[in-house]
Amino acid sequence: MKRVALIGMPNTGKSTLFNRISGASVKVGNWPGVTVDLHSVKTILNGELVELIDLPGIYDLKGYSEDEIVVQDFLKNNQIDQIFYILNSTQIDRQIELAMDLKKMNPSIKIIANMIDEAKAYGITFDFDKLQALLGCPVIPISAKHNQGLDQLNKKISLRNASDPSKNDLKRIINQTVFFPKTLNNKTTKKLDAIFLNPVFGLPIFLFVIFTVFQFVFTVGQPLQDLMASFFTYLEQTFINNLLLNMNVTLKSFLMEGLYAGITTVAAFIPIIILFFFIMTIIEDSGYFSRAAFLMDKVMEKMGLDGRAFVMMLMGFGCNVPALMGTKIMRTKEIRFLTMLVIPFSLCSARLQVFLFIISAFFAATQGAIVLFCLYLLSFFSIFITAVIFKNKYRSHEPLVLELPPYRFPTTKQILIRGWQEVKHFIDRASKFIIIGVIAIWALTHFPEGLEVASADTYAGQIGNLFEPIFSPLGIEQMLIIALIFGFIAKEILIGAFAVIFGLEGIALSAHLGEVFNAGQAISFMIFTLIYTPCLSTIATLKNESKDRLLTFISITWSLMLAWLLSFAFYQLYLIV
Amino acid sequence: MTLKQLLVGQSGVIKTLTNNTQFNDRLKALGVKKDNIVEIIRQAKFDGPFHLKIGTTEFMLRSDIAAQIDIEIITPKAA
Ligand SMILES: Nc1nc2c(ncn2[C@@H]2O[C@H](COP(=O)(O)OP(=O)(O)OP(=O)(O)O)[C@@H](O)[C@H]2O)c(=O)[nH]1
Ligand SMILES: [Mg+2]
């Protein structure tokens, strides 16, 4: 089978083209370093079955960050029948040199001049016929995002063999074939930067943006979640209960108070997840991440990190796992490790669900939004304090230069696909971890038989008792300790656990929680949940990516300690005040 | 003079890069190389990074690195 590889500098649209050709849905984003691993797919190109490969972006052929090494290894160890060299047409003058370096290694190369839509809008014009004749290889203008010119990818172009141009020739060739206007027509980006990168207001605007986003998710998502929850309750009362009338009591309890209650309580969050990732996609594709890096770099430098680490944290708001992988773009081990150490404190969407759940049980809507925002601030704070404490252990001086791409907006299709991907991801997790967790908690709270459910003598109660001395100063009670233990696997289990432990779901569950716990206990529980480790996948990823046992160990023990200390401090203060 | 000494809105012609050759490769790939013209768009507060522009590429560069890059200032045209 023919092997076709997409190679190019970061953020040039390789993954967008990969998705276009193959119908796949690998992640796309307006940030250099979205793809950090190789993706391969079998697809039809030019009526022929080929293996198409998407790769991380590279700046040159000898780069030394891990994502660049992925590409070098690939080039070294694989026979490639066709290289598609993707470049950003608006930056052809600086991206063409790498194409010529690649051509020397492998002459079957086609230059794909992507983002031709942007080039047009900027007022840049090209003489492609002349360009490809002078370069001695095909140059095909396309817009991967807007699906223009893709039919030309397969066209056979015969060119006379030109000798490889020298670097000076290259400059001349570009001057003869690409015409830049005197002033680039990129007013939108300029205007937006004047606002978002404003030396005084930039940072406050950033905080405001974050606050608005979560406020939005909160106010729009909450009613949707209630609706889902009511629907599941309705389903149970009018339909499922009738089916199970004659069933064995224990089995029925297992099915309804265990599986059904646990899973539906978690599933009620699907609309919020979708909504959240719609917004996340828009932000990631807007180019605002790079601006956040610019705004925060100085502060991050003081903590031994840099602006990129801040962006990883923001990515971690979605899920910590890809954020940890994203650190591959860092070249120095120390700064990469320090970044990996702080990412797990980033309040991911799974923890967001837990907090929305608890907050809605204890606080009115306006108050709730503020509590949630404070949890985000606490997430930042944990990151800062961790970095400051460990910055001498992982000290580095990696010089930093980072592209600021123009502002972009994702297409509706891109947003929808991403939302769908996340739902799939969620269902995937739910069907593994969450079901297992819910079943285990049901069993622990219902056995030995004959006892009151979730009472002190059940297995759950006994385990809780064991840890009680550690958790009672935090205001966290016996039964919730079991929930926390399983929350170690995945945070959504916590929500399911509440449902199972109290044998309730939906609105009834929220009401009940509000009666048996006070607000201080609820907040203390949330603080602990935020900090004590995100989930098993995150820890596994951290270990795989760092290949460092010490770092993994530090990460786990330090987060447990910090979680305990902050919950303790909060709860004791709460008791006094 | 160095890139760091340029004021916001001024431009210069790049003469020499840093003494970190590996990092210079990265700079070159972004267009930071001899004879190219660089313009300072803005700088973040507290001696934070510079927002620079070379041709159609915009990027940020820490100010300690800007202090290592030599440039020749382009005398601004009369307004
Ligand atoms: N205007 C425009 N934007 C595009 C086009 N192709 C891709 N983009 C946008 O460019 C950004 C980068 O796209 P990706 O496909 O993630 O780029 P990549 O080359 O895979 O990037 P890395 O994986 O980070 O190296 C995204 O915001 C895309 O939506 C295009 O043809 N026109
Ligand atoms: Mg990519």
User: How far, in Å, from the CA of A9 to the mean position of ligand 1?
Assistant: 11
Q: How far is Cα A141 from Cα A113, in angstroms, rounded to an integer?
A: 4
Q: How far is Cα A68 from Cα A12, in angstroms, rounded to an integer?
A: 15
Ligand nearest to the CA of A14: 1
The fold of B3-71 is: SH3 type barrels. (2.30.30)
pLDDT at A540: 93
Atom number, ligand 1, closest to the C-alpha of residue A414: 29
User: Is A10's C-beta closer than 6 angstroms to any atom of ligand 1?
Assistant: yes
Give the mutation candidate from B18, B38, B58 for the A interface (greatest A CB count, under 10 A).
B58
A363: distance to nearest CA of chain B, Å? 38
The interface pTM score, or ipTM, of the predicted complex is 0.94
pLDDT at A575: 92
Instruction: Of A291, A262, A314, A283, give the one whose Cα is nearest residue A506.
Output: A262
pLDDT at A498: 86
User: How far, in Å, from the CA of A286 to the mean position of ligand 1?
Assistant: 11
Instruction: Of A294, A168, A117, A126, give the one whose Cα is nearest residue B58.
Output: A294
User: How far, in Å, from the CA of B53 to the mean position of ligand 2?
Assistant: 24
C-beta atoms of B20 and A399 within 8 A = yes
pLDDT at B76: 65
User: Is A118's C-beta closer than 6 angstroms to any atom of ligand 1?
Assistant: yes
Chain B touched by A400 (CB under 8 Å): yes
Ligand nearest to the CA of A32: 1
pLDDT band of B77, cuts 50, 70, 90 = low
Burial degree of A155 (CB within 10 A; 0-12, 13-18, 19+): exposed
Please name the residue of chain B whose CA is at the shortest distance from the CA of residue A301: B48
Please name the residue of chain A whose CA is at the shortest distance from the CA of residue B56: A91
Ligand nearest to the CA of A84: 1
Which region, left, alpha or beta, applies to residue A364 given φ > 0 means left and ψ of -120 to 50 means alpha?
beta
> Residues of chain B whose C-beta is under 8 A from some C-beta in A?
18, 20, 22-23, 25-32, 41-49, 51, 54-62, 64-65
Instruction: Of B40, B55, B42, give the one whose Cα is nearest residue A88.
Output: B55
Burial degree of A193 (CB within 10 A; 0-12, 13-18, 19+): buried
A298: Cβ contacts below 8 Å, ≥ 6 apart: B44, B45, B46, B47, B48, B49
Q: For ligand 1, pick from A20, A27, A28, A308 the residue to mutate: most ligand atoms within 8 Å of CB.
A: A28
Those residues of chain A that have pLDDT short of 50 are: none
pLDDT at A235: 87
The one-character DSSP state at B2 is B
Q: How far is Cα A164 from Cα A8, in angstroms, rounded to an integer?
A: 19
Instruction: State yes or no: pLDDT of B79 exceeds 60.
Output: no
User: Is A87's C-beta closer than 6 angstroms to any atom of ligand 1?
Assistant: no
Give this prediction's pTM: 0.90
Measure CB to CB from residue A403 to each of B18, B59, B65 and give the nearest one: B59
Closest C-alpha to ligand 1, atom 11: A30
| Structure-token pair, residue A79 | 């026979």
Measure CB to CB from residue B60 to each of A64, A122, A402 and give the nearest one: A402
Residues β-bridged to residue B53: B39, B58
Chain B touched by A403 (CB under 8 Å): yes
Q: Are A321 and A537 in contact (CB under 8 A)?
A: yes
Chain B touched by A122 (CB under 8 Å): yes
Strands (E), A26-77: 39-45, 48-54
C-beta atoms of B30 and A404 within 8 A = no
pLDDT tens digits along B15-57: 999 988 889 999 999 999 999 999 999 999 899 999 999 999 9
* Amino acid, single-letter form, for residue A192: L
Q: Which contiguous run of DSSP H or E holds residue A402?
A: strand A401-403
* Domains of chain B by residue range: 3-71
pLDDT at A398: 86
pLDDT at A409: 92
Give the mutation candidate from A12, A58, A94, A171 for the B interface (greatest B CB count, under 10 A).
A94
Chain B touched by A59 (CB under 8 Å): yes
User: How far, in Å, from the CA of A197 to the mean position of ligand 2?
Assistant: 26
Question: Phi and psi at residue A323, in whole multiples of 5°?
Answer: -60, -40
A186: distance to nearest CA of chain B, Å? 10
Give start and end residues of each alpha helix (H) in A391-477.
412-429, 435-446, 459-471
Domains and CATH numbers, chain A: 2-179 (3.40.50.300), 202-576 (no CATH)
Residues β-bridged to residue A175: none
Residues β-bridged to residue B40: B52
C-beta atoms of A94 and B44 within 8 A = no
A343: distance to nearest CA of chain B, Å? 23
